[in-house]
Structure 1
Amino acid sequence: MHFEVGESGRLLLRDGDSTLAEYIYAPSDATVESPRPYFLLRTRQGVEVTAYRPDDHVWHKGLSLALPNVGPHNFWGGPTYVRDQGYVQLPNNGSQVHTAFVASDTPIADAAAGLARVDEILDWRSQDGDPVLTEQRILTARAVGDDAWALTWRSALVNVSPDPLAFGSPTSKGRENAGYAGIFWRGASGWTGGAILGPGGDAGDAACGEPGPWLAFVAPDSSAGVLALAATPADSPWFARSAEYAGLSPAPFFTDETVVEPGGTVVLSAAFIIGGADVASLAATVGANLVAELRAVPDAEPTPATTAPDAEPRGAETDRDAELEGAAPVPDAELRGTETHRGAEPPVADPDPDAAFHPDRADTDPAPAAEDSAPADHPEESA
């Protein structure tokens, strides 16, 4: 399993001849959709498990880190919930901008563990382009047995604005049971009405707002399932929906806001296992190990936002003699996977990997960058 270069602005996660995921790190989305990198995912059997720009909420895109309330900024997309006013489309839709890929500080251990890994630096900017946050993001992927695979996500966010930033949600602003904010998975449209499972069994939509170590979502036809596990904080509430649409996210700012002072850091991390209808059975074993791994990552100062932009990523086939110095920028953005050899040429991507990868998405063209997309027809349901 390894990452390689796709068309401009995206990486492909390869499992032999199959593509398990696309990571779109340089999207061309409309401002109102709060542009940010995102994953589109499928099982090892080829079942799509994420939605892309669904009709109900076009700012929902696969798996992404989306935060609706960071001080005055909206990094979720669409309108902002305002206390006593409801949803209002404000000029506050920020963006997450890819700055550089950097070298893993544990390349040998990553290879020994069979990890495909991406380390990335991002700038979070206001709608006016002012710096708000810098982020150090670590993404890993690995096989889980013969039928499943796992993705971990860790983001360390540093407040680089001059003011304290309150991280919150629509619920912290007054809307009942709508505490969405975090590493958010939006399931494929055909998954609406699927089962939400927790440690106590069938949890359903009642899991929304409740704390717990994990939740799993199983497609209505039992063709696949996704297990989500919270790593930080330990007892995070969950945002969970099935009746309206398929969605799961650890939601640490569901009810209470967290204020981060200038120069302060907040860390969000989660693990996801993509497998069959029995994926919840992996929570106590593989899932627990993934959570322990994420919690063991030491805190480190993110690379400054002035890091030079990288060149086109080279993929997982890299020269082992390349020097790796912590978080130093990687020449040509070398991405460490598990399939490495000396002197390899960049892998050639499919001519159009996107065309065959998104049967579920609402349209086949990327979101327009020049014009803002319209908010939802029912802004009171803008989650």
Structure 2
Amino acid sequence: MGPPRAILLPALLLMLIISDTVDLKSATHQESLAKHALNSSLGFGEIVYISMPDRTDRQDAMTLLASTFGIKLKLIPGVRGSEMSPKAMPDGLYRKTRPSELGCWRAHVNAWRHLLDSDMDTLLIFEDDLDWNPNLKKTMETLSLQMQNSKIRLSEPSDYERANAPYGLDWDVLDIGSCKDSGHPDFKDISQIWDDPDVPDIGVTKQNQLMYESLHNFGLTDADIGKKRLLAPAYLTVCTSAYAITRQGAERLLMAMSYIGFRNAVDTDMSRAFREGRVRGYMLTPPAISQFRIGGSKDTDNRDPGDPRLGRSARKWMVDNMKLDNWEDYRRFKQEKLAKVTEESSLPARG
């Protein structure tokens, strides 16, 4: 005979209470870990940005953006491919590869080495021609919660990840700034989708045909596009405006795109590594970060940036937020002061 029912029911109730308490503690910890996305490195070990030494105009802009939005950036100097030693040229280089593409590759490789030379788990890499939505930190906090509760990772997170990694550590590359992307044709059922109020509207998304079609291929309808964001295994990606790497990601990228060889352009080779399965990536679409383009020399140099708009621009918000008419403020101050004096003088005298 088993235990009496009078004993089983309280025991079962106690187990349910304990289970609910554990789940609540776990959820609370995840929320606390996701708050790291609100810090000056967006929850990564550090944020670096690549900029040619002579593009002080772009560095000024990046410094302004960082200060305005509470982000800390470290400069990784760009490299002139035409000045690289012939002995440092990677194997497999295409004959038609431009010096600018070679220099861009070298600067990104230097960023990967920067992570491996440190004791950090992750690194977020920016280029200097980017823009983001003013609510970027909230977007990244939501992404952290989604990745902590991932339905698409291949293994359970380790205790270290649960305790310390806002975005997990099961990936090599987390692409949050692709200007065009598409998922693997055999794995369109592997994705994670959530509501995000800061996703660009469908009119903007439709201008990027590849991304628009990709969202449909993952099962989103026109009613979803402009309301939802999606995370999926990276397959075909264009541009390296903003992406994060883990330590194992830096090792794999160095192996695949330097030690073994490099062909043409850093985003092209990275996309090839995704498609061939040599590097494990996730792609966020629509992206949280895109190129900046409103006209002028500060715009992206990318020849095919896709649609650069994000619905709202941090750069435009920054300009509007810093507007000042100092002397108009003083005039208003004087008028208010005069009005107060006039009002006080019109009050009846106290007897």
Judge same fold: TM > 0.5, yes or no. Answer: no
Q: Which has the larger radius of gyration?
A: 2
TM-score by length of 2: 0.28
TM-score by length of 1: 0.27
